[in-house]
Structure 1
Amino acid sequence: MIVDRQGRRFRKLRLSLTAACNYACTYCVADGRRLVAARDELTATAMLRAVELLRDVAGVEALRITGGEPLLSDRLEPFLRGLGTLAFQDISLTTNGQLLAGKLPILRSAGIQRLNVSLDTLDPNAFRKIAKGGDLQTVLSGIEQARRAGMSIKINMVPMRGSNLDQVMPMLAFCVQQGYELRFIELMRMGHLAQHAEVFRAQFVGQRELLELIGERYEFSQAEAPVDSTALRYDISEGGAFGIIANESVPFCRSCSRLRLSSTGWLYGCLSSNRGHFMGDLLALPSDQAHPQLAGLLSRALGDKQDATFTGSALIMKSLGG
């Protein structure tokens, strides 16, 4: 097991199954172009080998499958089939929900029980402006079908001034009514937003403002959460809960246990670092050769973590399993 001077280690792996995405969300890409699959993305077999090695060497305990949009990938089904042999107790998936209804049989057969669905508004016009693609009703129908199938669902929302701040309360009311937990994610200084500070500052909505806004309608109290949780959780007195991932307001760098693997085989230990560590060359090696080399890569990736404060980087979040 690899541990740094602050006692941090990699417990949670976020795997980008593909860089491709059928949306072009304004907080992810600047020019409205959808992300496309890289030519050198790993095969399902190679991804499974990578996950196996990271489990064995880093001690990864939880796996989140992300993208881009993972449901777009033709590797989804073979990857999920093979994942069953690796005996992870905690496997979840993040999606924008556009293809969710059609992929539910695959997800259910693979034993996926937890979903995070990115949804920034319930207003169809605002939806089109933010996502630059997709259909709101299709997403809502997919979420409802997943709920009926017994899946645990969290909704991820990025509040932005001048875009969807007026949707904070309608979104929370909707999630409380439907039994979903809403996660507000503070806008992150990633990609184009890291390069245009004035745009970031104009759109940013922080934890304090969110809590004040929510407090006008709901009584709530802070709930306990795991020490390495990214979200500050709050229980609503009349029922339901919400969380805030306060990257800027309340950084969680000191307890971060996340490791990211891109669809092309690059490891990233910190979103505030542009530095990747390529493990693709190790995947064909026998374990006795791959393990010590991977340990070296992981030590360097762990060393990339910030000590206290998230600083952002030019990396495109959704190509890293955001």
Structure 2
Amino acid sequence: MNKLVRAVTYLKDVTGLDKLRITGGEPLISPLFDGFLRAVSQLGLQDVSLTTNGQLLERKLPVLLESCVRRLNVSLDSLDAAAFRRIARGGDLAEVLRGIDACLAAGLRIKINMVPLRGLNHEQVMPLLDYCLDRGIELRFIELMRMGHLASDTAAFRQQFYGMPEILSVISERYAYRQADNALDATAQRFEIPGRGYFGIIANESAPFCRTCSRLRLSSSGWLYGCLSSSNRHFLGDLLDAPYEQALPALRQLLQRALEDKQELAFSGDVMVMKIIGG
């Protein structure tokens, strides 16, 4: 854990990093999570956030509050318990919903991430949107990505893909919406439903955003990834044993190589699976 905290510190010093998102896999199941979160919360970052499946949210809420985490993304693909278990391959929907309620009551800001899949949960677009609007939560629809087996199985991808045009069409049947302002390097297009709230769509297929992406991903084993559409990775673990004055110049060179892995225009797909690298 100490090395991982040191890696975040070095990246902060080299890049001016001010936002950190802890993701996975599922970060809350790690026995190192509490200590790591407490440590990075002392690094002077402007924003430390978390992406989780929500199963342990209620249990971990005290350490989140203690470490000044103020916003979360919760992955939730269905409000139907059976469909939830089928898509998540287990878990308890009621426990996730209790965790969300507890976080909201404690004042945390929550976004919910949903990946609509044709034939599996696309009929949940409106139930989840209404659930979020009623609670002041911003729902993020995430288009299916060409990763893992879907990178090469075009037929399976097309069969499951449910994109931004379909999502907006369904929403427009009930709500009038308008485009909302967003940060230049944002991955989501945001929309406002006047008087109700906001939702967003991460439309990596329908409206690619690779050209403005500024994100880097660091694995817990010390590998740096510049792009989800590339299996290239760069090991910075060795730098963490070097003196600070030597490590930082070498890290700058490694970062440059990682940034060169980014796609110029659009996500093209990769055999790497999301659960290995996180969202």
* TM bracket (short chain): over 0.9
Deviation at 1:53, TM superposition (A): 0.7
2:133 aligned partner: 176
The answer on 1:199 being equivalent to 2:153 is no
SS in 1 for 2:112: strand
Q: How many residues align?
A: 279
After superposition, what is the alpha-carbon deviation per residue over 1:269-288, rounded to whole angstroms, capped at 9, x for unaligned? Answer: 01111100000111111111
Deviation at 1:142, TM superposition (A): 0.4
1:60 aligned partner: 17
The answer on 1:139 being equivalent to 2:96 is yes
After superposition, what is the alpha-carbon deviation per residue over 1:43-83, rounded to whole angstroms, capped at 9, x for unaligned? Answer: x2111000001111122221000111000011111111211
Question: Matches of 1:61 and 1:318 in 2, distance apart?
Answer: 24
Give the TM-score, by structure 1 length: 0.85
2:176 aligned partner: 219
Which amino acid counterpart does residue 152 of structure 1 have in structure 2?
Answer: R
1:241 aligned partner: 198
More helix by share: 2
Which amino acid counterpart does residue 301 of structure 1 have in structure 2?
Answer: A
Question: Matches of 1:78 and 1:284 in 2, distance apart?
Answer: 21
Within-5 A mapping of 1:257-272 = 257-272=214-229
The answer on 1:292 being equivalent to 2:252 is no
Percent identity, aligned pairs only?
A: 59
Within-5 A mapping of 1:31-50 = 44-50=1-7
Question: Matches of 1:193 and 1:227 in 2, distance apart?
Answer: 29
The answer on 1:314 being equivalent to 2:274 is no
2:52 aligned partner: 95
Q: Check the 8 A contact 2:132/2:139 in 1, yes or no.
A: yes
The answer on 1:210 being equivalent to 2:167 is yes
SS in 1 for 2:250: helix
* Residue from 48, 73, 79 that aligns with 1:122: 79
Q: Check the 8 A contact 1:267/1:277 in 2, yes or no.
A: yes
* Residue from 56, 62, 67 that aligns with 1:105: 62
Deviation at 1:195, TM superposition (A): 2.6
Deviation at 1:93, TM superposition (A): 0.3
Which of 149-158 and 282-291 deviates more? Answer: 282-291
SS in 2 for 1:156: strand
1:82 aligned partner: 39
Which amino acid counterpart does residue 260 of structure 1 have in structure 2?
Answer: R
SS in 2 for 1:247: coil
Larger RCO (CA under 8 A, 6+ residues apart): 1
Which amino acid counterpart does residue 126 of structure 1 have in structure 2?
Answer: A
After superposition, what is the alpha-carbon deviation per residue over 1:175-210, rounded to whole angstroms, capped at 9, x for unaligned? Answer: 001111100000011112113221111000111111
2:107 aligned partner: 150
Q: Check the 8 A contact 1:67/1:318 in 2, yes or no.
A: yes
Deviation at 1:304, TM superposition (A): 0.5
Runs of at least 5 residues in structure 1 that lack an aligned partner in the other structure: 1-43
Deviation at 1:125, TM superposition (A): 1.0
Question: Matches of 1:285 and 1:85 in 2, distance apart?
Answer: 23
Q: Which runs of 4+ in 1 moved over 4 A?
A: none
Deviation at 1:296, TM superposition (A): 1.0
Which amino acid counterpart does residue 190 of structure 1 have in structure 2?
Answer: M
Which amino acid counterpart does residue 96 of structure 1 have in structure 2?
Answer: N
Q: Check the 8 A contact 1:92/1:113 in 2, yes or no.
A: yes
Q: Check the 8 A contact 2:41/2:48 in 1, yes or no.
A: no
Q: Check the 8 A contact 1:272/1:313 in 2, yes or no.
A: yes
Give the TM-score, by structure 2 length: 0.98
